[in-house]
Structure 1
């Protein structure tokens, strides 16, 4: 029986490239000259840490990071920015957690949407992904089309079409 998986995967190399491009832009901008600014990507913790001299500069770096995410073909929705915090050196810092995988609540919403289509397909939640199976490939393609039109707060990829 044909099937496919609905996942939320991120490409760590592309995130690293976006962070590096952001740092290059910070280094070339006149308004950041002489100010301590850093953007760091931790692959182990799936987090990006941003440090800037003041709150306005921090927001500018955040916008640059989002811009470079879009340029690299990444969804900025995967970034979950935390609150601004002061550091001991007088700078301001912010962390952005990178959301990967589909959480239980979102997976239930996806399954509910699939059932609402009244197509002859079955959706099953497996860990951090949703597997959809059906007898006809046309039905599976219709499910993909319907889900692409909906907003779930995370980017969805459709993989392993068999």
Structure 2
């Protein structure tokens, strides 16, 4: 029986590439000369460093642009906290969203059941497993979810035939 999983996790390789490209651009830009602005990745979070709020905003803009160029959805990042570190320097932590929240998974299951497509959806931890009799039904379900769910970037993997 064909099935696939609905997940919410970024392509970590592309995210790392976007971070490296951001750091390279920051090191080459004239307005960042002599500053300690950079982006670091620590486990499930990104840490942005800047000399002041303006430069921190510029670092964020560079990161968002590089992520967009590498097709990594910006909705995976959630602002956590901005703090002052020594003097005027600023640090912002951004959490990387992995896994579907229980509220979103319930919404996905409800959308699938209300659509009357002949598939079954079940919550499997931080993913939603969708099974059906035909591939066409599963592809129709994917298109429906892409259209209906806009608050989080959904991905589809583990497609079994």
- Aligned length, in residue pairs: 160
- Is the Cα–Cα contact under 8 Å of residues 77 and 154 in structure 1 kept in the other structure? yes
Distance 1:152 1:124 in 2: 20
**Cα RMSD, aligned residues only:** 1.3
Unpaired runs of at least 5, structure 2? none
Shift of 1:138: 1.6
**Following TM superposition, where does structure 1 have runs of at least 4 consecutive aligned residues deviating by more than 4 angstroms?**
none
Aligned counterpart, 1:9: 9
Classify the secondary structure of the residue corresponding to 2:152: coil
Classify the secondary structure of the residue corresponding to 2:24: helix
Match of 1:68 among 57, 66, 69: 66
Structure 1 residues 52-61 or 148-157, which shifts more? 148-157
Unpaired runs of at least 5, structure 1? none
Give the TM-score taking structure 2 as reference length.
Answer: 0.93
Shift of 1:39: 1.1
Q: Residue by residue, what CA displacement relative to the aligned partner does 1:21-63 show, whole Å, maximum 9, x if unpaired? A: 1111111111111122121111xx3111011001011011101
Aligned counterpart, 1:51: 49
Q: Residue by residue, what CA displacement relative to the aligned partner does 1:76-126 show, whole Å, maximum 9, x if unpaired? A: 110111232211232011011000111111100100111110112110000
- Is the Cα–Cα contact under 8 Å of residues 106 and 152 in structure 1 kept in the other structure? no
Aligned counterpart, 2:81: 83
